[in-house]
């Protein structure tokens, strides 16, 4: 199994990873504002499935090449999740469990940990999650255009 991992699986996974990185970077570079909006809209969905962790290696490569557009998109998405949580906390009834959970989940989302906000509040109520996808898509094009490889 070790030989198969080093001779077949490893190189194949690297090719797939490089192809994925090239696809994401090409989409962002070629489509400009629309690419930022597309990546912004997809990012919350990647967090739900856990696939946002696959972007870490891509981001490290982009940072090594001069800059990354993924980090600003992720930050904007996390702040959208936090904002939706705080809005739910403001609109929920006083002394309700939902208000406490929403306020408590909004704080870590403000600092980059959006999973409590997504799974505890926004996804459960559905409308706040849809609003965060729209907000993240709207904020995606505001990422600096010179941060990707060109």
Contact 127, 93 (CB under 8 A): no
Express each pLDDT in 6-55 by its tens digit. Answer: 888 888 888 887 787 788 888 888 887 888 888 899 999 999 998 888 88
Q: What pTM did the predictor assign?
A: 0.81
Contact 136, 109 (CB under 8 A): no
> Element (H or E) spanning 60, and its range?
helix 55-64
């Amino acid at each position: 199994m070790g030989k198969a991992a080093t001779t077949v699986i490893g190189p194949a996974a690297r090719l797939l990873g490089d192809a994925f990185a090239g696809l994401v970077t090409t989409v962002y570079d070629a489509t400009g504002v629309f690419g930022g909006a597309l990546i912004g809209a997809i990012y919350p969905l990647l967090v739900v499935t856990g696939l946002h962790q696959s972007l870490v290696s891509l981001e490290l490569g982009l940072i090594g090449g001069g800059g990354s557009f993924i980090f600003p998109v992720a930050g904007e998405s996390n702040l959208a999740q936090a904002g939706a949580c705080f809005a739910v906390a403001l609109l929920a009834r006083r002394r309700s469990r939902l208000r406490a959970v929403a306020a408590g989940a909004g704080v870590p989302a403000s600092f980059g940990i959006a999973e409590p906000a997504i799974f505890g509040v926004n996804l459960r109520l559905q409308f706040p999650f849809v609003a965060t996808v729209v907000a993240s898509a709207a904020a995606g094009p505001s990422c600096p255009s010179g941060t990707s490889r060109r």
